[in-house]
Amino acid sequence: MAAKPSIPKGTRDFSPVEMAKRNYIFNTIRDVYHLYGFQQIETPAMEMLSTLMGKYGEEGDKLLFKIQNSGDYFSGLTDEELLSRNAAKLASKFCEKGLRYDLTVPFARYVVMHRDEITFPFKRYQIQPVWRADRPQKGRYREFYQCDADVVGSDSLLNEVELMQIVDTVFTRFGIRVCIKINNRKILTGIAEIIGEADKIVDITVAIDKLDKIGLDNVNAELKEKGISDEAIAKLQPIILLSGTNEEKLATLKEVLAGSEIGQKGVEESEFILKTLSAFGLKNELELDLTLARGLNYYTGAIFEVKALDVQIGSITGGGRYDNLTGVFGMAGVSGVGISFGADRIFDVLNQLDLYPKEAVNSTQLLFINFGEKEAAFSLNVLAQVRAEGIRAEIFPDSSKMKKQMGYANAKNIPFVALVGENEMNENKVTLKNMETGEQTLVSAEELIQTLKK
């Protein structure tokens, strides 16, 4: 008996219905990116390991899928190297390529390689899969899609403003209510400076981030545990307990961070972004959130995160400003800012809230029932007219029993069925059946098209 086929852990097959839903997500995001002047690029699934290694930290390097060289890759190895059983060292000898871990490093490589062809500022987007040799678990896969948009070669905060407008537009189109959270790495650096604990910025932000879960006393206890002085913790209290409107938060921060030049710069940047966006009247909530500390070692300015309001799930979009995207490839001084939509989490949210439009999921709108050779020939003529008008239609290929053909229509959720028999052909018409109501109408090809277009 043949072994039952399987797929690698952490990967998935997608059914036609699931693909229709996923394409609805990708197409919506793509359409909005185009509205704001972003252009699409694609990079290979494989990159040279020299491009990928050392860009994600030690843990990230371990999660890279490495691809062994073709041919006799053992020929260049000594017996001593083979017997050492050092997997990492051996892999470096016969693996020159790896699957991309994210879209950011390949994008940086792309910018450096194509710098003479690119017009700056460069507004690019990418919707492609990435791979991580992570331990598969619920909601975490080894292969998943990222939907990134970045602007490089411009320091203007108008880029941050437009990216937040993109986020607002995308989720408004999806019908998902979200809160767009904004912070700034410079504010966090300023806070650490002011309380005299500049080297403990990570410990401080990690602890503050838990305020909602563990409460103020436990946050303070954790800060003390990390070696932060009582005096510094006391200075932190007005910041930890910061509440009110975005304007009130900014006013408090201006006072608290008066002695920190970098902190003040962060406040100014945040104020500009928030004020400019408030003038446009976004459809979704916009909140200055000091507990937001994503990508602390990566981002240098504004930080963004988006949370769904009606579903318990992690961040569904994130991003921020970085100062030196291409420096690791020898092209210094290229600042950028970007966002990434979490397509897989958005997929889950839309499913939970049942927000997919019917037309996004139902592919075929009309099925012609096949009663035989003559009837099929007549139907093909009408079918051509229907398709020419952009209506998605098909004919059942075999003149099978009516029950089987109707069962096919029901299984595919096809809303209309066209019946063509002797009477219909004599009148040059078709009988159109609404599969939901059961109502049947004798119509001409033109009337059929008008009905389906409605």
CA–CA separation, 47 and 80 (whole Å): 29
Residue 402 in tokens: 């009516």
Beta strand 178-184 pairing with 285-288: parallel
CA distance 193 to 267: 14
d(CA 38, CA 32): 9
Annotated binding-site residue? 298: yes
441 marked as part of a ligand binding site: no
| Cross-strand bridge partners of residue 137 | 140
Q: Is 110 assigned a ligand-binding role in the annotation?
A: no
Question: φ and ψ at 446, to 5 degrees?
Answer: -65, -45
Give ∠ CA 112-118-122 in degrees, rounded to 5. 95
CB-facing half-sphere around the CA of 320: CA atoms within 13 A: 25
Nearest to 449 by CA among 406, 408, 422, 418: 418
- 146 annotated ligand binder: yes
Does the annotation flag 322 for ligand binding?
Answer: no
Q: Which of 306, 310, 318 is nearest to 351 (CA)?
A: 310
Q: Which of 105, 4, 107 is nearest to 52 (CA)?
A: 105
Note whether 200 and 177 are within 8 A (CB). no
294 in a labelled binding site: yes
- Is 150 known to sit in a ligand binding site? yes
DSSP string of 133-191?
-PPPBTTB-SEEEEEEEEEES---THHHHHHHHHHHHHHHHHT--EEEEEEEHHHHHHH
The CA radius of gyration of the chain, in Å to the nearest whole number, is: 28
296 near 201, Cβ under 8 Å? yes
Residue for token pair 């939509």: 341
Bridge partners (DSSP) listed for residue 146? 128
Query: Which residue, among 229, 33, 21, has the nearest Cα to 124 in the 3D structure?
Result: 33
**Coil vs helix vs strand at 240:** helix
With beta carbons less than 8 A apart as the criterion, state whether 444 and 431 touch.
no
- Give dist(CA 434, CA 41) in Å, integer: 43
Q: Which residues are annotated as a binding site?
A: 102-104, 132, 146, 150, 294, 298-299
Q: Which residues are annotated as a binding site for L-histidine?
A: 102-104, 132, 146, 150, 294, 298-299
